[in-house]
Amino acid sequence: MKNPPSLKTRRKFLESAVIGGALTWTLPAFLSQTFNALGAEAQKGVTGKDSTILVAVQLAGGNDGLNTIVPYTNDHYLSARPTLALKGGEVLKVDDTFGFHPALSGLKALYDAGQMAVYHGVGYPNPNRSHFRSTEIWHTASDADKFERHGWLGRYFDNACQGADPTVGLALGRQMPQAFAAKRPTGVALENPEQYRLGSMDLAAEDEMESSEPFLRRMSDPAMLTDEATQSGASITAVNGTISAPGSALDYLERTALDAQVSSDKILSIAQKAANKAQYPASQFANNLKLVARLIAGGLPTRVFYLSQGGYDTHTGQSGSHERLLRDISAAMHTFIQDLKAQGNHERVLVMTFSEFGRRVKQNANGGTDHGAAAPMFLFGGKLKPGLHGKFPSLAPKDLHNGDPKFTVDFRSIYAGILQQWLRADSAPIVGASVKPVTIV
C-alpha cells in the first residue's frame, strides 16, 4: 500500500500551481474567488428551495438577432442580405411581420405556450463592437465610457445576499464570469462537480494527488482563455481577482482547498442524487442545462446560475453555423423547461439570454455578418409577461448608426426588472437609480 504524501510533498504540489505569482490564472475560480462565507447559514429569503431562480445564458460571440427573430417582410432586411435573408416561406411565423428562424421550433413552441418573451432592439448608447469591451459592459451594466470593477450580479450578491450560502451564484465554465465580480467574492465556477473534489490534504492517497495535478495545470494555462474556450465563451468572461487572506499564498491555497472540498462535496452529492425528468439532446450546452436542472431539483440554494453557448461570431459561412447553434439552444432550452415542469419548479425559474452585440444589417462578402449593436433578448419561464416587447428598430439606411440598428431598449432596464420583480432586490444600487425597469412579470 502506498504511503500518503508528506506535507512537504503536498506543499510542493500546491507550489506547482503558483506560477510566477499570477494567482488569477493559477487558481481555479472555484477556489480563488469564493468561500469567504463558507460556514455561514443562508439568510431566509435569500437562498433556499422555495426561492426564485435566475438562469443567465450568454450567447457568446455576438448573435445575429435579425436572423433569429426575422423581420421577413422588411424590404431593407431582404435587400441587405441577398443570400442570408430568410423569406416568409422559411420562417416559423409569429405574426405578419416576424418569425423565428426555422431551427427554433423548440423556442417557437415555448412562445406559443406563453412561456417566452422577446425584447426587440436591446442595447446601450454609444455601442462598442469589441467582444471584450462590450461583454464587459453587459457584465458590469456600465456606461460605454465608464469602467466598473464589479459585475451587476456581483453587486446583487453584495447588496442582497450577505450571509448567503457560497453557492448562491453558480457558473458553469472554466472561469468565473465578470458579472459575478463582487466586493465580497461569492459564487462557484465549475465545469463538472466531480472535477472539483480535491482529496483531503491529510488523508489523500498519492494517486489522488497525481490525478488532481493535471486539472490544476489545465486551470492554470492561459491558453484556455483563447481557442480552447471558444465554445464555452470563457475567453471573454474571466475575472481578475486578488487574494487578501492573511498568511502566504501557499497557506491560503491549502486552507481554501479544504474549504472547497466541503462545498464541492455538497454540489456533487446533490448532482448525483437528483434525477432529470426529461431526455436532453447530446451537446455541451444541453449537458450544462441538464446539470442546472438536477441541482435545482436537488435543492441547491442557488439564486443565480450562469452559463454560455459560444460560437456566434459568424463572419464567414453564417447560414450553416448559425443554424446549428440555434438548433442546439432551441432543443436544449425546450427540454430544460419541460424538465422544470416535471419537477414542479417551472414557476420558480426565469431564464434570460443575452449576447454582447448583434450583427450588421448588411451581410459581408464572405457569406457572414460583422459586429453590430442592438439585438433581441429572450426570457423564458412560467411566470413572465410573454410575447413581443419593445420597438423594433428601423432598418432603413438613413436610420442606422454606422450600419447598425439603433437600440430601443436599454439592457439595464431589463436587468432592473429582473432584480426588482424576480429576485426581489432594490435595483438602484446595482444598475443605477435612473434606470426604469421594464415589466417582466
Question: Is residue 303 predicted with pLDDT exceeding 70?
Answer: yes
Residue 137: Cβ-neighbour burial (10 angstroms; 0-12, 13-18, 19+)? buried
Question: Is residue 231 predicted with pLDDT exceeding 90?
Answer: no
Which of 10-24, 175-189, 276-290, 306-320 is least confident? 10-24
pLDDT of residue 315: 98
Question: Is residue 237 predicted with pLDDT exceeding 70?
Answer: no
Comparing C-alpha atoms, which of 180, 287, 196, 186 is closest to residue 238? 180
Q: What is the pLDDT of residues 342-359, one digit of tens each?
A: 999 999 999 999 999 999
CA distances to 70, 320, 364 from 82, in Å: 14, 16, 10
Residue spans of the domains in the chain: they are: 7-431
Question: Is residue 46 predicted with pLDDT exceeding 70?
Answer: no
Confidence of residue 251 (pLDDT cuts 50, 70, 90): low
Judge contact between 66 and 363, C-beta under 8 A.
no
Over residues 379-390, the mean pLDDT reads 98
Question: Is residue 140 predicted with pLDDT exceeding 70?
Answer: yes
The alpha carbons of the chain give a radius of gyration, in whole angstroms, of 22
Q: Return the H-helix or E-strand segment holding 270.
A: helix 249-273
Pairing of strands 304-310, 53-60: parallel
Pairing of strands 188-190, 116-123: unpaired
pLDDT of residue 232: 39
Cα–Cα distance for residue pair 45/165, rounded to 1 Å: 12
**DSSP 8-state class, residue 214:** H
Question: Is residue 274 predicted with pLDDT exceeding 60?
Answer: yes
Cα–Cα distance for residue pair 211/295, rounded to 1 Å: 26
What mean pLDDT value characterizes the chain? Answer: 81
Comparing C-alpha atoms, which of 415, 410, 439, 441 is closest to residue 428? 415
Rounded to 10 deg, the angle between the 318-343 and 105-112 helix axes is 40
Which of 24-33, 56-65, 200-209 is least confident? 200-209
Comparing C-alpha atoms, which of 154, 157, 135, 156 is closest to residue 144? 135
Which of 227-236, 239-248, 301-310 holds the top average pLDDT?
A: 301-310
Q: Mention every residue, 6+ apart, whose C-beta is less than 8 A from residue 123.
A: 357, 358, 373, 374, 375, 406, 407, 409, 410, 411
Question: Is residue 401 predicted with pLDDT exceeding 50?
Answer: yes
| Local structure of 235: helix, strand or coil | helix
| Local structure of 12: helix, strand or coil | helix
pLDDT of residue 413: 99
Q: What is the pLDDT of residues 63-106, one digit of tens each?
A: 999 999 999 999 999 999 999 999 999 999 999 999 999 999 99
Question: Is residue 48 predicted with pLDDT exceeding 60?
Answer: no
